[in-house]
Amino acid sequence: MSRSTANRAPLVLVVDDDLRTREMYAAWLVYSGLRAAVAPDSEEAIEKAKKLRPDLITTDIGVEGRGHVLQFCAKLKKSPRTRKIPVIAVTAWSMGDCVEKARQAGCDLVLIKPCLPETLLLEIQRLLKLPAIKPKPKPIGR
């Protein structure tokens, strides 16, 4: 575990300009025992990364804001305050050299959409060296 302690679940910053995607991933992570913060664009994500110092960041490559997400990731990796935060790009941009550019910008991993929340959770657990725990479904209507 990076900065986390046994009493504090790791914090994941979910960056995506699509509200539903952002909320879906964040809800799944919280349901799975992690903490989540969200940002709709790269500008807010940089601010939150510096302030909150999340254990990991997930981001879409097509995020809106000042500068492309590749610039966002490169900026994160240059700052002493945020350089060690792992970054997972979750993107539908799999054509051309987008995946390679994301890696060159500093993304630790690139997952292609559609990406199931379970897949994202497993990769977060792997990168943060957390035990692989699958959430247990709760009964409906109880």
Residue 119 lies in a domain: yes
Highest mean predicted confidence (pLDDT) among 3-7, 92-96, 111-115, 124-128? 124-128
Read off the pLDDT of residues 69-120 as tens digits, 9 standing for 90 and up: 678 888 898 889 999 999 999 988 777 787 888 888 889 999 998 999 999 9
Q: Which position has the higher pLDDT, 13 or 130?
A: 13
In this model, does residue 135 exceed pLDDT 90?
no
Residue 96 lies in a domain: yes
The token pair that represents 114 in the structure block: 């559609």
Q: Name the residue among 53, 8, 17, 57 with its Cα closest to residue 35.
A: 8
State the distance between the two ends of the chain, measured CA to CA, in whole angstroms. Answer: 34
Beta bridge partner(s), residue 90:
111
Residue 73 lies in a domain: yes
Specify the pLDDT at position 40. 93
H or E stretch covering 125: helix 117-127
Residue 141 lies in a domain: no
CA distance 109 to 126: 11
Regarding pTM above 0.95, the answer is no
Say how many domains are in the chain.
Answer: 1
Q: How confident is the model at residue 2 (pLDDT cuts 50, 70, 90)?
A: very low
Q: Average pLDDT for residues 116-126, to the nearest whole number?
A: 94
User: In terms of residue numbers, what domain contains 48?
Assistant: 11-127
Residue 91 lies in a domain: yes
Task: Name the one residue in this structure whose structure tokens are 């929340």.
Answer: 117
Residue 16 lies in a domain: yes
Specify the pLDDT at position 1. 43
Read off the pLDDT of residues 13-33 as tens digits, 9 standing for 90 and up: 999 989 999 999 999 999 999
Specify the pLDDT at position 11. 98
What's the CATH code of the domain at 103? 3.40.50.2300
φ and ψ at residue 84, rounded to 5 degrees: -90, 0
In this model, does residue 59 exceed pLDDT 70?
yes
Query: Under the phi-then-psi rule, with left for phi > 0, alpha for psi from -120 to 50, and beta for the rest, what region is 141?
Result: left
